[in-house]
Amino acid sequence: MTIRQAMVLAAGLGTRMRPITDTIPKPLVKIDGKPMIDYALDSLVAAGVERAVVNVHHHADQMLQHLGNYRGLDIVISDEQDALMNSGGGLAKGLMLLDRDDVFVMNADLFWIGELPGRPTNLQRLAGFFDAERMDMALLCVKIEDTTGHNGKNDFSLAADGRLTRYRDDPANPVVYAGAIAMNPSLFDDAPKDAFNLNIYFDKAIARGRLFGMVLEGHWLTVGTPEAIGEAEETIRRLRAFA
């Protein structure tokens, strides 16, 4: 199955990236010469996505200019300049600009490298894994040893059947949420109209036994501070040398 639409969460303030984000939105900070958001957008294009909603708030003028010049996707703007909606509220608002087919949800500042040529991409695998009959959401996850820039904390435990529960310092297959979701927009039909955190829906899905996960292939990077830029770029160079 191919998912052809997406929502990219890109409206955050990037406070931990200051002073860089005093003058530029975090999704446009370049890592190895490429704006962070372009790693996410390029992944969507490679997976067959045709239309993507991107929410904007911080330095929205720069985001609008950059997204207007991006080729390969029909990009629709969800404007949050008046009020930030947090991750869940921003997603709920953006989904109203898409149709009722299945959708990817991506974070603009989390990305991965090292997918193998000739194999389905991580997002293509996630689309094939997602089953709306059994799942509210399918999350792309990563083993902590395959991360750079992460805080060292696991998010979930991944069962043998793919079901996720909150990680509680137990030894059972811990994973980190990698910032990509496959889901159907109908899940958010009951969403609040104001700002809320996406974790609310993760916990609802866990309570129903309907939050599932799949482990990505490759290496995952998060760049949360100015000091982390160099670490991320060194990781990219090192892995490229072994490719």
Q: Supply the DSSP symbol for 16.
A: G
pTM over 0.85: yes
Interstrand relation of 164-166 and 211-215 (parallel, antiparallel or unpaired) = unpaired
CA distance 123 to 2: 9
> Which token pair is 217?
């292939």
Q: What is the pLDDT of residue 59?
A: 92
CA distance 84 to 80: 5
Q: Supply the DSSP symbol for 153.
A: -
Q: Supply the DSSP symbol for 147.
A: E
Q: What is the pLDDT of residue 224?
A: 87
For residue 216, the domain's CATH number is: 3.90.550.10
Number of domains in the chain: 1
Q: What is the pLDDT of residue 242?
A: 67
Q: Exposure of 20 by Cβ count < 10 A (0-12 exposed, 13-18 middle, 19+ buried)?
A: middle
Q: What is the pLDDT of residue 171?
A: 67
The domain in which residue 191 lies consists of: 5-242
Closest CA relative to residue 199, chosen from 80, 110, 88, 47: 88
pLDDT 10s per residue in the chain (243 long)?
Answer: 799 999 999 998 888 889 999 999 999 999 999 999 999 999 999 999 999 999 999 899 999 999 999 999 999 999 888 888 998 999 999 999 999 999 999 999 899 999 988 999 999 999 999 999 999 999 999 999 999 988 888 999 999 999 999 998 666 789 999 999 999 999 999 999 899 999 999 999 999 999 999 999 999 999 989 999 999 999 999 888 765
